[in-house]
Structure 1
Amino acid sequence: MVDQSKQDIFQAISDPTRRSLLKLLAEKEMSITEIVGFYTISRTAVNKHLHILLNAGLVRSQKVGRETRYTLNPEPLVELKNWLTFFEQYWDKKLLALKEYIEENNH
């Protein structure tokens, strides 16, 4: 059975804007006003993307005065990396087979 939180993570990172937001928030904590300055999309659109990242656990928010500040939460990405690492053995085998095939057919 598939863990529901994993589906959320994959869905959350499937969008290029959300991946960009994660990189941006990895650098420092930012308010929505600061974040919007990096994008050509509306504040509402940025807010929707942040909400998806929050629900997936990839971003944390903290109220500071009247504004909400956002920062990257890297822990779910470590889980994702560990999951992907399992499949490296298959990629390595396929790449080695391709290399051997190309070398055999070029001689």
Structure 2
Amino acid sequence: MGNIEAVTDAEFEAQVLKSDKPVLVDFWAEWCGPCRQVAPILDELNTAHGDKITFLKMNVDENPVTPSSYRVTGIPTINVYQGGEVVRSIVGAKPKAALLKELESFIA
């Protein structure tokens, strides 16, 4: 799926919580249709804004610990982490314009 790096439960703290810049994590699964709809949009945003915010994806089937600890119950869920905390949570598939609006404070 696209050009966004995957993150695992084991790497989550180092790659996400301890990052110097905001990190967007796309919680997804192979069988999730809406996740597949959002993936190319996130790829585009990563290409355009990857210098300001790190884009990562986490397969919830392969990595159950992190989604559970952040109460991710529906996918796709897109969480933005800054300073080790969730600062934005977007649940469900959204069009590019809506995602840009949600993320504008991190990519401006």
Q: Same fold (TM over 0.5)?
A: no
Higher normalized contact order (CA 8 Å, seq sep 6+, divided by chain length): 2
Greater helix proportion: 1
TM bucket normalised to smaller = under 0.3
TM-score under structure 1 normalisation?
A: 0.26
Structure (1 or 2) with the larger CA radius of gyration: 1
